[in-house]
Amino acid sequence: MVFPAGFCYNGGMPKFPIYLDMSGRRAVVIGAGSVAVRKVLALHEAEARVTVVAERIDPSHSDSIDLADVELILNLYSKNYLVGATLVIAATNDMTLNRQVYHDCQELQILCNVVDQPKLCDFYTPAVVKRGDLHIAISTDGNCPAYAGHVRQKLEMLFTETHGRFVEQLQKVRTQILEQVSEPNQRKTLLGQLAGDESFDIYNRKGQQHWIEYANDRITRSITASQSENP
């Protein structure tokens, strides 16, 4: 994201939801408390190149941050540490410092999140339900993370690991449909049917192999019907 010169984020503006590929991109976390550690671990899981800047680290958190590809800078904060970052998270107990980090990010045109300060955030980190390749993100626009966590817990009971495995099979079938079915509307109809509740119910009750046979049958029927209509 590129901001115009002098840009300053104004809380309450509409947000653009996005899933950002951070693999190999630099992310800087200012602070090394419990909240900062959670952000570091999440960014590390996303395969970002993480840099942590803090004056000191509590021994209880040192093992969590001591990861092979996480750069640790034990020093006073400097704007220079932000250069080249895709995003920055300020998670210190010093609100004056957090504000400085935010304003430095605005000047350098770097996305910034100051924890627990929605008005000082260019982005929010949502509560996420993960089931394999199925990710469900919940956000309250930074206004009440606790409620986002509450909704996440409810969704975790509703969506199981079976849903994640179902998504994996849908991806394989989608590739098959793209290769075998040439007509766009026909593809859309097939994918909609196979991604629907009835299809998942078959997968859940009768198992993966039966569902694969069911999906192949639907694809074959669709292709045959198309050939009959367009001999």
> In a 10 Å sphere around its CB, with 0-12 CB exposed, 13-18 middle and 19+ buried, how is residue 104 labelled?
buried
The band of 128, judged by pLDDT with boundaries at 50, 70 and 90, is: very high
**Would the pLDDT of 3 be above 90?**
no
* In the block, residue with structure tokens 């260019």: 122
**Would the pLDDT of 51 be above 70?**
yes
The pLDDT of residue 122: 94
- Give the structural domain span for 179: 161-229
Say if 1 falls within a structural domain. Answer: no
Say if 149 falls within a structural domain. Answer: no
Number of domains composing the chain: 2
Say if 45 falls within a structural domain. Answer: yes
**Would the pLDDT of 2 be above 60?**
no
pLDDT higher at 3 or 152: 152
The band of 10, judged by pLDDT with boundaries at 50, 70 and 90, is: very low
First vs last C-alpha separation in the chain? 51
The pLDDT of residue 69: 82
Is there a single domain that holds both residue 112 and residue 33? yes
* Global pTM value: 0.79
Determine the residue type at 51.
T
Is there a single domain that holds both residue 107 and residue 181? no
The pLDDT of residue 65: 73
The pLDDT of residue 7: 36
Q: Give the best-scoring range by mean pLDDT among 55-59, 62-66, 114-118, 204-208.
A: 204-208
The pLDDT of residue 92: 96
Is there a single domain that holds both residue 165 and residue 92? no
Say if 130 falls within a structural domain. Answer: no
Say if 133 falls within a structural domain. Answer: no
pLDDT tens per residue across span 52-109:
999 988 877 777 777 768 999 999 999 999 999 999 999 999 999 999 999 999 999 9
Is there a single domain that holds both residue 57 and residue 114? yes
Say if 4 falls within a structural domain. Answer: no
**Would the pLDDT of 8 be above 70?**
no
The band of 12, judged by pLDDT with boundaries at 50, 70 and 90, is: low
Mark 133-161 as b/e (b = at least 16 C-beta within 10 Å): ebebbbbbebeebeebeeebeeeeeeeee
pLDDT higher at 148 or 2: 148
Kind of pairing between the strands at 127-131 and 134-138 = antiparallel
pLDDT higher at 67 or 44: 44
Say if 132 falls within a structural domain. Answer: no
The band of 5, judged by pLDDT with boundaries at 50, 70 and 90, is: very low
* In the block, residue with structure tokens 């010169």: 5
CATH code (residue 89): 3.40.50.720
Q: 170 pairs with which residues across the strands?
A: none
In three-state secondary structure terms, 88 is strand
Is there a single domain that holds both residue 98 and residue 189? no
Q: How many CA atoms lie within 13 A of 47 on its CB side?
A: 5
Mean pLDDT score, 159-182: 95
The pLDDT of residue 15: 80
Is there a single domain that holds both residue 30 and residue 119? yes
Say if 171 falls within a structural domain. Answer: yes
Q: How many CA atoms lie within 13 A of 32 on its CB side?
A: 25
Q: Tokens in use for 11?
A: 């809380």
